[in-house]
């Protein structure tokens, strides 16, 4: 979009700066379309996809660091397994400067990711190696694959605590987001032939993996933070 789009020269701009018939028509029909097509208003939309790709992680990071501070307080180190490009881990590292965060993800995902004083990226396969830390953190679908190796390498051997952020449907029947639940169930059916887990499903999984207790704290929507101990 041309930066020369200004209210002051509508006639000239209508003929010289707008290339698409739709834009020209919009201008001829409604002069105020100039304002609506001003880069100040349109540019943010060009970044929506970029924002959308990380909005879930950003939202979770905010909620986790604000509502569940006590879970992270006192930890010296944490590894975010399947942590992507580190959106959540960065928020946690920023909120807890005494906590060393490691993001473990596949090489092509963490390539080019820059760490900070208390945030480092490790390229690797979680099925092969998980860096040792006080706590193992996992958010969303990475968990689904991870637990398949629970018997081979228990997270408790790697970290003292396990913290999961994921959906718990039907938890205390507090959620009313039925459409959202159905949508994610369909997504799971299509992608993994699974479905979102109820508390009972999670409890069975934790028990199978050797954990004796768990605590579920709803954080937003269907998403909860789950603390495990053995």
Site residues (CB under 6 A) for ligand SAM? Answer: 57, 82-84, 87-88, 104-106, 109, 125-127, 139-142, 145
Give me the least distance between CB of 184 and ligand SAM, in Å please. 12
**CB-nearer residue toward ligand SAM: 6 or 58:** 58
Give me the least distance between CB of 221 and ligand SAM, in Å please. 14
Do the bridges between strand 77-81 and strand 213-220 make them parallel or antiparallel, or are there none, so unpaired? Answer: unpaired
DSSP codes of every residue in 69-117: HHHHTT-SEEEEET-TTSHHHHHHHHH-TT-EEEEEE-HHHHTT---BT
Select the residue whose beta carbon is closest to ligand SAM and give its number: 82
Give me the least distance between CB of 26 and ligand SAM, in Å please. 38
Residue 12: other Cβ atoms inside 10 A: 11
**CB-nearer residue toward ligand SAM: 17 or 85:** 85
Residue 204 corresponds to which tokens in the numbers above? 């069975």
Give me the least distance between CB of 61 and ligand SAM, in Å please. 9
In angstroms, rounded to a whole number, what is the distance separating the alpha carbons of residues 120 and 94? 13
**CB-nearer residue toward ligand SAM: 26 or 226:** 226
């Amino acid at each position: 979009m041309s930066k020369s789009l200004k209210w002051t020269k509508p006639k000239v701009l209508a003929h010289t700066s707008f290339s698409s018939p739709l834009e020209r028509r919009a201008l001829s029909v409604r002069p105020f379309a100039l304002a609506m097509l001003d880069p100040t208003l349109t540019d943010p939309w060009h970044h929506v996809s970029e924002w959308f790709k990380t909005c879930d992680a950003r939202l979770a990071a905010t909620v986790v660091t604000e509502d569940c501070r006590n879970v992270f307080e006192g930890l010296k180190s944490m590894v975010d397994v399947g942590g992507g490009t580190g959106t959540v881990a960065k928020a946690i590292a920023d909120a807890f400067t005494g906590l060393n965060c490691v993001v473990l993800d596949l090489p092509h995902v963490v390539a080019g990711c820059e760490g900070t004083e208390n945030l480092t990226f490790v390229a690797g396969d979680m099925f092969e190696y998980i860096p040792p830390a006080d706590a193992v953190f996992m958010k969303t679908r990475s968990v689904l694959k991870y637990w398949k190796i629970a018997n081979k390498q228990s997270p408790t051997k790697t970290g003292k605590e396990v913290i999961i952020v994921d959906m718990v449907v039907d938890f205390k029947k507090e959620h009313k987001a039925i459409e959202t639940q159905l949508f994610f169930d369909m997504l799971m059916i299509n992608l993994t032939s699974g479905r979102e887990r109820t508390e009972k499903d999670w409890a069975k999984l934790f028990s199978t993996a050797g954990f004796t207790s768990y605590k579920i704290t709803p954080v937003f929507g269907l998403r909860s933070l789950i603390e495990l101990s053995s």
